[in-house]
Structure 1
Amino acid sequence: AALLTALERKGIAVEGGVRIAWDEGDPVGDGSCTTGGKEPLGVACPGSFRLTGLRSPPMSEIIKAILEPSKNWMTEQLVKTLGATRGEEGSWREGFRIESEFLTDQVGVDSLDIFYQDGSGLSAYNLLTPRALVRIFEFMRRSPHAGIFRDALASPGEDPGTLRRRLLPLEDRVFAKTGTINHVNSLSGYLLTGSGRELIFSVLTNGSGLPSGVVRAGIDQVVQAVARR
């Protein structure tokens, strides 16, 4: 529909509607076309050819684009993509199922420590414990992709990033993910202490009744106190 509208705005008439052939399972030109859905309608596409293609960036770039500046919309799409590529369909429900199995079976997160309501964490009905987050960060520290994951996290003074104005005395010593919705503030990640030890920390606050700025400052004080050890 978007392509058709764009062509019409340029004065290019399109007869017979716009048809899309999907590369995966229905290669362009093989006679399997759709009119927007993913199920072939058996309509022939004689003489079809590739006009253009769009390839997704590698996951390393996607993760950095999500975690460092905290892009909620992208996390929602990532959950659906997980369901489509590893499960039966590209839905939140299927994505959550795959994610839950991975976290409990591979990471060792207790199933009672986490509850999903959406893919971004914007819903107040999402629930998780600091223990679950620490397990996830510990799992990723031992992962072959540890460097990619760490590089995707926010760091003090790094712009763009959710810590660009926070914890500035700990530049290059904190790599973390923030979390903020109404009455909820959190910070979890890796911290290099003054003695050279790397710690995993998770501070979650909710319902304090205080302004977010005050709560964030308190969280930062806790992190800096631990960093001096």
Structure 2
Amino acid sequence: MRKILLPVFLITFSSSFLFSQDIAVKLKKALAKFESDSQLSHASIGFLVIDAKTGKTIVEKNPEIGLAPASCQKVLTAASAYELLGSDYKFKTEFRYDGTIADSVLKGNLYIIGKGDPSFASWRYTLSTPQTIAKELVDALHHAGVSKIIGQIISVNTGFDSQNIPDGWIWEDIGNYYGAGIGSLVWNENQFDLILKPGKNQGDSVKIIGTKPEYHFQLINELKTGAKESGDNAYMYFSPGVEYGYLRGTIPCCVDSFAISASVTDGEEFARDQIISILNSNHFFVDATAIKSGSSSKYNYSSNLIFTKISPSLDSLTYWFLKKSINLYGEAYLKSIALEKGGFASTTKGVDIVQDFWEHRGIERSSISIMDGSGLSPQNRITPRALVQILQYAKTRPWYNGFYNGLPEINGIHMKSGSIEGARSYTGYIKNNNGIEYTFAIIVNNFSGNASTVVRKMWVLLDTMK
């Protein structure tokens, strides 16, 4: 029997070995062509492909050079959160009160104690929508015997730093929906829609019709009407802590209305105002002098719990984090890691804990030089090797299936993409027609010309592995 099996084994091994050699040759040829492209004359390219099963390097180009990974950094943050928080981790937001309840009247303050739940009042989850939270809060107050509140609505900062936006984010990003910052309390992913009415002709002024949800914010409107079907080229600019911003760019003409999404300047204040609106609409007659926020040590809230809102599990959140590349979630994860493991929620503390974690698992600290959890900062630097090592590590963990299912399928490949100005990246897994799986990362910085053209050329390179 062994005389029959040995040749079969040798044939199988030889075939696999020869195919691996063939892929390496093809990849090197495709990489050489990619590098010689005129769009990449002054670009920095990092590329690493390994056999996912054996760990053997198939091809590499600058795998140890730190480059701006853009949203491919989210695989680092997701894997870190799975390990340091756990796939079943859930955020909690508490509603508490002080004072007394008599004759259905609460004479005291209502406290909202958040821990940075990015899904709180998000439209993505049936059990966390604004409508669901409104009903649960109103029901809980009625159950506690409260139908009127004489007091204030106070959002309490629970060990979070005052810096909602990480260092390294640029002014062009932070006013737009994908640049929303994170504090202890979130509502609607800290974004709102601006409803606009363009003029009839190109160059006409644009009117602001309203916001959804309601949001009071002073805007200096410099927006103009663009050409028909020219798309959304509108941007909101503001500085952190400032209660006004600038609306610039263009929206297309020849439509009745046009909506753009922007970030709020203060997520805690935004959430508190939405909760006040809910209570007012349900006839709780909330005092309009609600204060902004405060340190938890200043308020007597610990003994009177009204209602706790629990988020979906981290595994569920990560599906959207990776699939839709939601920057807010990355920043929430990083601060939660800092809060749970270091006792204080700050981005810098979260970065330090994440770097320590991976350093103890064989990834050099200097290969993960990051400013945030999402990859939005152009100052982030990660090596292709570090990304591949993290992906390989993920394959050994019990949470791998959730992680893998969150990776988008792009060009027929399960991979995370990344894009910021001057940078495009991909990292993930690809299994070819012969059943051989590869783990890879490719980062391109400082290319010239059209970004979508560079992306298509990157896909052609990756297609070599199929």
* TM-score bracket for this pair, using the shorter chain length: 0.7 to 0.9
Are the aligned partners of 1:80 and 1:95 in contact in 2 as well (CA < 8 Å)?
yes
Q: SS at 1:177's partner residue?
A: strand
Cα distance, 1:36–1:225 mapped onto 2, change above 3 Å? same
Cα distance, 1:214–1:93 mapped onto 2, change above 3 Å? same
Per the alignment, residue 43 of structure 1 pairs with 300
Q: Tell me which of the two structures has the higher relative contact order, counting C-alpha pairs closer than 8 angstroms and 6 or more residues apart.
A: 2
Per the alignment, residue 131 of structure 1 pairs with 385
Per the alignment, residue 459 of structure 2 pairs with 220
Q: SS at 1:195's partner residue?
A: coil
Per the alignment, residue 159 of structure 1 pairs with none
Under a length normalisation based on structure 2, what TM-score does the superposition of the two structures give? 0.39
Alignment of 1:162-201 (within 5 A): 163=410, 167=411, 170=412, 174-201=413-440
Alignment of 1:9-24 (within 5 A): 11-14=283-286
Per the alignment, residue 445 of structure 2 pairs with 206
Amino acid at match of 2:352: R
Matched, 1:95 2:350: yes
Deviation per CA, 1:137-172: give whole Å up to 9, x if none: 0000111111111111111xxxxxxx3xxx1xx3xx
**Aligned partner of 2:372 among 94, 107, 118:** 118
Per the alignment, residue 145 of structure 1 pairs with 399
Q: SS at 1:124's partner residue?
A: coil
Matched, 1:7 2:261: no
Are the aligned partners of 1:88 and 1:94 in contact in 2 as well (CA < 8 Å)?
no
Are the aligned partners of 2:334 and 2:350 in contact in 1 as well (CA < 8 Å)?
yes
Cα distance, 1:208–1:74 mapped onto 2, change above 3 Å? same
Are the aligned partners of 1:133 and 1:188 in contact in 2 as well (CA < 8 Å)?
yes
Amino acid at match of 1:112: S
Cα distance, 1:18–1:54 mapped onto 2, change above 3 Å? farther
Alignment of 1:55-94 (within 5 A): 55-94=310-349
Work out the number of aligned pairs and report it.
Answer: 194
Considering fraction of residues, name the structure with more strand. Answer: 2
Amino acid at match of 2:330: T
Q: SS at 1:208's partner residue?
A: coil
Cα distance in 1, alignment partners of residues 378 and 401 from structure 2: 31
Q: SS at 1:196's partner residue?
A: coil
What 5-or-longer segments of structure 1 have no aligned partner? 20-34, 156-162
Return the index of the structure with the highest Cα Rg.
2
Cα distance, 1:113–1:5 mapped onto 2, change above 3 Å? same
Q: SS at 2:464's partner residue?
A: helix
Q: SS at 1:123's partner residue?
A: coil
Per the alignment, residue 28 of structure 1 pairs with none
Cα distance in 2, alignment partners of residues 43 and 72 from structure 1: 34
Cα distance in 1, alignment partners of residues 393 and 311 from structure 2: 26
Deviation per CA, 1:164-211: give whole Å up to 9, x if none: xxx1xx3xxx21110000110000000102221111011100101131
Q: SS at 1:188's partner residue?
A: strand
Are the aligned partners of 2:356 and 2:365 in contact in 1 as well (CA < 8 Å)?
no
Give me the CA root mean square deviation. Answer: 2.4
Amino acid at match of 1:86: K
Which stretch of structure 1 is more off in the superposition, 80-89 or 35-44? 35-44
Structure 1 runs, 4 residues or longer, greater than 2 Å off = 1-19, 35-46
Are the aligned partners of 1:118 and 1:126 in contact in 2 as well (CA < 8 Å)?
yes
Amino acid at match of 1:136: I
Deviation per CA, 1:75-118: give whole Å up to 9, x if none: 11111111111212111011111111111112x21112121112
Matched-pair identity in %: 23
Deviation per CA, 1:11-37: give whole Å up to 9, x if none: 533369879xxxxxxxxxxxxxxx944
